[in-house]
Amino acid sequence: MKRALVGAAMAVTMVVPASVAVAAPGKNPVQSIVDSGHAPGALAAVRRDGDERWYVAGKAVPLNGRVRIGSNTKAFLSVVILQLVAEGKVELDGPAQRYVPAVKDKRITVRQLLQHTSGLPEYADKIGLDRIEQVRDRYLRPHDLLDIAMAHPAQFEPGAKFKYTNTNYIVAGLLVQSVTGRPAGEQITDRVIKRLGLRDTYWPVEGEQGLGGKHPRGYSLTDETDPKSPVIDITEMDPSWTWAAGQLVASPADLVTFYRQLQTLLPPAQLADMRKTVATDEPDVRYGLGLLSQDLTCGGVYWGHSGGLHGYLTLAGATDSGRAAAVAQTAAPGLKGDPEGQIKLMKAVIDKTLC
């Protein structure tokens, strides 16, 4: 892919199911992403006042196409664990070691895993992800990822502070498997995806590198530390290195449905636990159990998550009043080598659609 493709944009909008209309020129919220040069394509689903609108911008981007949703997977997994808590099979404030013996510190609780306050070391910055071609075809088992992390010292004392760490959700996935005796992906599928009727959401099978169904191509810088490095098509890759921390594939519309209906999957007590938040490094963002709250400029918050996996960047969430949006970009890291700017723009798009 040439960088010149970034400037060649096409905008499309569709409304389903209550009415069908075409948005007025300049009303496509994702066109700004393509115009910015961060990604060659973008797509979104927005639901307000009973209507759901689908948008795309860029070349060869299908309406409501499937993308890798990265860390949005954490919200799905957290729902499963909180269901197990409600069933009396997991103690939220009990030691994670009870379920996953590889966690050596008995003070680390299940809640701290889901809340990113465990202090566990990060594995993801130790496997060469800054040069994706080193790992795109590499299969890594969950215990491989945990072993990589555990070879390093803890980042801080359990409960001392918030630090976003993917290792927490590798342990959480292993916890689900330990308690249920079944694969984590199967539990997410049966307990969340099927219950909500999410037709474009799935857990890739072991060794699967492609994307099923209609989808846009995903792109990445060869070296994310060098914005001048060549751009590659990274649509096909082995996502095993992210596993329960970020392996799911979904469409924007399915993400809208998930965040709007998440509360139907949990009893009130567990939903309240999921929404008990701690401060993060961002003053307008707080983090619960696999779920973030983001302040809106018009007042209030939305509940959701972001996700970045090579080739795709996503952000989605819903307000308590039922407004919801999901946005995806088809490049990660972004083609301008400015991840902070890329995220800031995506947050602005979500804010505009929900306010």
Averaged pLDDT in 10-residue chunks for the chain of 355 residues: 27 37 62 95 96 95 98 99 99 98 97 99 89 86 96 98 98 99 98 98 97 97 84 96 98 98 98 98 97 98 96 97 97 88 94 96
CB 46 within 8 A of CB 52: yes
Q: Alpha-carbon distance 195 to 192, whole Å?
A: 5
pLDDT at 26: 52
Residue at token pair 């959701």: 304
Q: Alpha-carbon distance 325 to 259, whole Å?
A: 9
pLDDT at 228: 87
Phi, psi of 255 (to 5 degrees): -65, -40
Give the contacts of 116 (CB within 8 A, at least 6 positions apart): 162, 163, 164, 165, 168, 287
pLDDT at 1: 28
Domains of the chain: 67-249+260-343 (3.40.710.10)
CB 310 within 8 A of CB 137: no
pLDDT at 336: 87
Q: Alpha-carbon distance 33 to 38, whole Å?
A: 6
pLDDT at 227: 84
Q: Alpha-carbon distance 193 to 186, whole Å?
A: 10
Residue 183, CA distances (Å) to 172, 277, 294 in order: 12, 28, 32
Phi, psi of 224 (to 5 degrees): -70, -15
pTM: 0.93
Residue 150, CA distances (Å) to 118, 141, 245, 251 in order: 13, 14, 16, 34
Q: Alpha-carbon distance 168 to 94, whole Å?
A: 15
DSSP for 172-202, please give it: HHHHHHHHHSS-HHHHHIIIIIHHHT-TT-B
In this structure, the dihedral spanned by the alpha carbons of residues 161, 176, 204 and 145, taken in order and rounded to 10 degrees, is 50
From first CA to last CA, the distance across the chain in angstroms is 35
Q: Which residues pair with 206 in a beta bridge?
A: none
144's tokens: 């491989």
pLDDT at 162: 98
State how far Cα 286 lies from the chain centre. 16
How many Cβ atoms are within 10 Å of 197's Cβ, its own excluded?
10
118's tokens: 């465990």
Classify 220 as helix, strand or coil: strand
CB 286 within 8 A of CB 279: yes
Q: Alpha-carbon distance 297 to 152, whole Å?
A: 40
How many Cβ atoms are within 10 Å of 299's Cβ, its own excluded?
7
Residue among 262, 276, 277, 272 at smallest CA distance from 322:
262
Residue 76, CA distances (Å) to 193, 311, 317, 320 in order: 9, 21, 13, 18
Classify 25 as helix, strand or coil: coil
284's tokens: 């307008």
2's tokens: 């040439």
